[in-house]
Structure 1
Amino acid sequence: MASSIKSAALSNVGKIRANNQDSGYAGNNLFVVADGMGGHAGGDVASAIAIRRIRETDKPYSSPGDAEFALQSSLIAANQLLAETVFEHQELTGMGTTVSAMMRVGDSMAIAHIGDSRIYLYRHGELSQITADHTFVQRLVDSGRITPEEAAVHPRRSVLMRVLGDVDAAPEIDTAILGTQPGDRWLICSDGLSSYLAEDRIKKALASGLDADAVSHRLVKETLDHGAPDNVTVVVVDVDESETSAAEIPTTVGSASAPLTFEGETGRRPLRLPTILLHPLKVATTPEDSHFEPESDEYLAELIAEDRRRAIRRRATWLIALGVAVVIIVGGLFLSYRWTQTHYFVGDRNGTVTIYKGVQQSLGPISLSSVYETTPIKVSQLSSYTKQTVEDTISANDLAAARAIVERLSDDAAQ
């Protein structure tokens, strides 16, 4: 039984962005998502240029290896085209884009990836992230310096280490060839989805049994329901069993679906890519732009050093807070103990009426009372009722009150 592909692509500007810097494409064999960066410096232009160049490779290939090479070559060509565009339009300096692409050849998927858009595979009830984010925080996670949970709130979580743009003439592209089978559901998405929708919710949507188009709308809607501060783009690809493989109508979404409008524009201020070097990002009501910083040893060393300083400050803050908490707890326990030692009670100790200092309780193995004075009165000399009250202990607010109780007990014993 041959396998066929059914796909859908959808892009949304989100609830805060003024323009859509994402682009997506779902064709007969090729499926791509690109997330532009650079804000008004041309993120929308970057993703559109990349998608338009890469979609030229949407055709049959004789082998998965040929498709992998074609994808890699198209990303390098798109990178060169971006550099040429910036050279001709200086107002676009600083633009760049992520790209995550898949090319289907028979029962294989050739993959090319750069940046932090993602490719997921849902198979047999399990969701797997196929691509690795090319971000600074992912480097920290991979090296064991921080946890994935810490990476999600790290102040430099939007710093990209690899993108297509006008900085690196030969960017490193991750490529792979993976097998695919009927029943597989693939998802390509920009970080507008993966950063704001938990993986368990993504998995639940992919497992819903809806077709590709309905699933893509559900994923985007759930992201919008969560506020969707960033552009969000998804491409859903289903592998089905089919005798025939009907051709899909290619779909382009996002900025690549509209005419490029940067020609002749003026008034844009050039923005160099490494503008946030060593400046921590701040949480704002508007979404953070992704920023690119080249993978240089010096820069990585400085970022890691800065992160180490941040970790030390965080650890110091926790230690100070812990120390203050310990002082408060110890101080409270000390004052509580001092308070107990201002009280007295009368009780039975080895058959003798005894004055105790403290209260009748204990904290685990620690008793909050001690013998203060042993009297000559024998408990056996007391009346039955009085004897019972002594055995149950008689509380006194101070030492004078305790001595007064002993005097009354002495009178009772003398009768």
Structure 2
Amino acid sequence: MATSGKSTAVSHVGKIRANNQDSGYAGTQLFVVADGMGGHAGGDVASAIALKRVMEADRQYASAADAEFALQSALSAANTMLAETVFEHPELTGMGTTVSAILRSGSQVAIAHIGDSRIYLLRDGTLKQITADHTFVQRLVDSGRITPEEAAVHPRRSVLMRVLGDVDATPEIDTTVFDVLPGDRWMLCSDGLSSYVSDDKIEHTLTSQAVVQDAAERLVKESLDQGAPDNVTVVIVDIDETGESASSPVMIVGSAASPLTFEGESGRRPLRLPTLLLHPLKSTQAHEDSHFEPESDEYLDELILEDRRRARRRRVTWLVGIIVIVALLASALFVGYRWSQSLYYVGADGQTVAIYRGIQQDLGPISLHSIYTETSVRLDDLPSYTRKTVVDTISASDLADAKAIIKRLTNASK
């Protein structure tokens, strides 16, 4: 397939939704899809805020590792901005967004991902899903409790376990680095596409449509043909035969393409406490079924167990980290103390001269020196200058040198 070496972004509100809560971006080096949630009063705001913050990372980087760090930082900063926005606008409580992004750097791309939007790679005519969904049913698939086919029709398939939002100050964000090849075609999409159009149809469309704009529009049409109850957003970028990408103008689509509005809904039902504590970033309104969290006892029990496992893993991680740090400090102190005890010096012990092991300083209440051996040389028998030198201590290179110093002092005292 001959590729165009360009990029595009297309977004559609779908056939049921009243507003578009998706945001998409096709830039010069950066390509992003964000799928907001939280009802009419928050989903569009969440995706727009996140995308506009992540857009600031669209520039050249010295390495893919630098690009990966920039994406990680941008998504973390976007999460903080969402929390601050909710603090200033309480009517937006419960909003959140997925974010999937790729950032070019030379012959590689950095990827950052959280939620159930997806990143695909079409290479040599074969489509591969690069990201893993952070959904409840994906956890069930990973644990072997259900099959991928069962997950595709599971009633809770759109329930998210991880998103950017106003609760978790340090959300878990997946990042990685991939090599790119000339002829690669990368696609990012919201679940408005992946939930209603099969991978086979996506692969066929991306393979058969050489122009990125045609491919994106055809994919959106495929979703609309399936009823498209959710918003659908598609971003495509081709890597041309020179290994370059995105010669197209920068494109912003979806809610991020419009000015932000913060309008609360007077009839908005308040969030239940268990939902807020566990996963407050999904809508609880009846018409918002794409990211709705059913509140059955079985479901809440499963989420509580998952949260407990995650909290336990975090506590174990912190505990292991603290133990490692303490062990390193203890090892450093032990090595330092052993080194100090290999040194010797000559000094005064009352009215006589002694050989000391260690160094003259103390470490708080810990003494770093002790008398190795006492001698019969008296300070009063030494010349005044020599006596002062002994009181100030005389460093020795080793024990033999210390004994040689004592021998000289003995001769000086006669």
Helix, strand or coil at the partner of 1:158: coil
Counterpart AA for 2:75: L
2:279 pairs with 1:300: no
Aligned residue for 1:142? 142
- Alpha-carbon distance, 1:259 to partner: 0.3
Counterpart AA for 1:65: A
Q: Are residues 246 and 134 of structure 1, via their aligned partners in 2, closer, same or farther at CA, if it must alter by over 3 Å? A: closer
Q: Are residues 272 and 37 of structure 1, via their aligned partners in 2, closer, same or farther at CA, if it must alter by over 3 Å? A: farther
Aligned residue for 2:223? 223
Counterpart AA for 1:207: T
Q: Are residues 298 and 65 of structure 1, via their aligned partners in 2, closer, same or farther at CA, if it must alter by over 3 Å? A: farther
1:149-194 deviation digits (Å, cap 9, x = unpaired) = 1111212212100000001000010000000111111110000000
Aligned residue for 1:234? 234
- Alpha-carbon distance, 1:291 to partner: 4.5
2:190 pairs with 1:190: yes
Q: Are residues 128 and 164 of structure 1, via their aligned partners in 2, closer, same or farther at CA, if it must alter by over 3 Å? A: same
Aligned residue for 2:102? 102
Q: Are residues 286 and 93 of structure 1, via their aligned partners in 2, closer, same or farther at CA, if it must alter by over 3 Å? A: closer
- Alpha-carbon distance, 1:303 to partner: 7.4
Aligned residue for 1:290? 291
- Alpha-carbon distance, 1:32 to partner: 0.2
- Alpha-carbon distance, 1:274 to partner: 5.0
2:58 pairs with 1:55: no
Q: Are residues 167 and 292 of structure 1, via their aligned partners in 2, closer, same or farther at CA, if it must alter by over 3 Å? A: farther
Helix, strand or coil at the partner of 1:171: coil
**Would the aligned equivalents of 1:95 and 1:165 in 2 still touch at CA under 8 Å?**
yes
- Alpha-carbon distance, 1:248 to partner: 3.3
Aligned residue for 1:344? none
**Would the aligned equivalents of 2:6 and 2:247 in 1 still touch at CA under 8 Å?**
no
- Alpha-carbon distance, 1:288 to partner: 1.4
* Cα distance between partner residues in 2 of 1:244 and 1:82: 34
Q: Are residues 157 and 70 of structure 1, via their aligned partners in 2, closer, same or farther at CA, if it must alter by over 3 Å? A: same
**Would the aligned equivalents of 2:238 and 2:245 in 1 still touch at CA under 8 Å?**
no
- Alpha-carbon distance, 1:272 to partner: 5.8
Aligned residue for 1:174? 174
Counterpart AA for 2:32: V
Helix, strand or coil at the partner of 1:39: coil
Superposed counterparts of 1:263-412, under 5 Å: 265=264, 267=266, 269=268, 270-271=270-271, 275=275, 288-291=289-292, 299-300=302-303, 302=305
- Alpha-carbon distance, 1:210 to partner: 2.3
**Would the aligned equivalents of 2:182 and 2:243 in 1 still touch at CA under 8 Å?**
no
- Alpha-carbon distance, 1:302 to partner: 4.9
**Would the aligned equivalents of 1:137 and 1:156 in 2 still touch at CA under 8 Å?**
yes
2:37 pairs with 1:34: no
Q: Are residues 43 and 200 of structure 1, via their aligned partners in 2, closer, same or farther at CA, if it must alter by over 3 Å? A: same
**Would the aligned equivalents of 1:273 and 1:291 in 2 still touch at CA under 8 Å?**
no
TM-score, normalised via structure 2 length = 0.66
Aligned residue for 1:160? 160
Helix, strand or coil at the partner of 1:159: coil
Helix, strand or coil at the partner of 2:40: helix
Provide the alpha-carbon RMSD of the alignment.
Answer: 2.9
Counterpart AA for 1:219: L
**Would the aligned equivalents of 1:42 and 1:92 in 2 still touch at CA under 8 Å?**
yes
**Would the aligned equivalents of 1:91 and 1:268 in 2 still touch at CA under 8 Å?**
no
1:206-226 deviation digits (Å, cap 9, x = unpaired) = 001421111000000111111
Q: Are residues 151 and 78 of structure 1, via their aligned partners in 2, closer, same or farther at CA, if it must alter by over 3 Å? A: same
Q: Are residues 291 and 215 of structure 1, via their aligned partners in 2, closer, same or farther at CA, if it must alter by over 3 Å? A: same
**Would the aligned equivalents of 1:274 and 1:292 in 2 still touch at CA under 8 Å?**
no
Aligned residue for 2:254? 254
* Cα distance between partner residues in 1 of 2:244 and 2:13: 36
* Cα distance between partner residues in 2 of 1:5 and 1:163: 32
TM-score, normalised via structure 1 length = 0.66
Counterpart AA for 1:235: V
* Cα distance between partner residues in 2 of 1:273 and 1:35: 24
Counterpart AA for 1:33: V
- Alpha-carbon distance, 1:242 to partner: 3.7
Counterpart AA for 2:34: A
Helix, strand or coil at the partner of 2:227: coil
Helix, strand or coil at the partner of 2:200: helix
* Cα distance between partner residues in 2 of 1:81 and 1:241: 39
* Cα distance between partner residues in 2 of 1:245 and 1:177: 16
Q: Are residues 287 and 42 of structure 1, via their aligned partners in 2, closer, same or farther at CA, if it must alter by over 3 Å? A: closer
Q: Are residues 238 and 292 of structure 1, via their aligned partners in 2, closer, same or farther at CA, if it must alter by over 3 Å? A: farther
Aligned residue for 1:64? 64
Aligned residue for 1:83? 83
Aligned residue for 1:43? 43
**Would the aligned equivalents of 2:6 and 2:245 in 1 still touch at CA under 8 Å?**
no
Instruction: Provide structure 1 residue ranges, at least 5 long, that are not aligned to the other structure.
Output: 305-415
Helix, strand or coil at the partner of 1:25: strand
Q: Are residues 142 and 54 of structure 1, via their aligned partners in 2, closer, same or farther at CA, if it must alter by over 3 Å? A: same
**Would the aligned equivalents of 2:8 and 2:248 in 1 still touch at CA under 8 Å?**
no
**Would the aligned equivalents of 1:38 and 1:291 in 2 still touch at CA under 8 Å?**
no
Counterpart AA for 2:121: L
Q: Are residues 121 and 197 of structure 1, via their aligned partners in 2, closer, same or farther at CA, if it must alter by over 3 Å? A: same
Aligned residue for 1:362? none
1:300-319 deviation digits (Å, cap 9, x = unpaired) = 36579xxxxxxxxxxxxxxx
**Would the aligned equivalents of 1:229 and 1:287 in 2 still touch at CA under 8 Å?**
no
**Would the aligned equivalents of 1:4 and 1:244 in 2 still touch at CA under 8 Å?**
no
* Cα distance between partner residues in 2 of 1:203 and 1:47: 27
1:224-280 deviation digits (Å, cap 9, x = unpaired) = 1111110000001100014987743211000000001116x56263546853989xx
1:29-61 deviation digits (Å, cap 9, x = unpaired) = 000000001112400000000000000110000
Deviates further, 195-204 or 265-274? 265-274
* Cα distance between partner residues in 1 of 2:12 and 2:81: 26
- Alpha-carbon distance, 1:125 to partner: 1.4
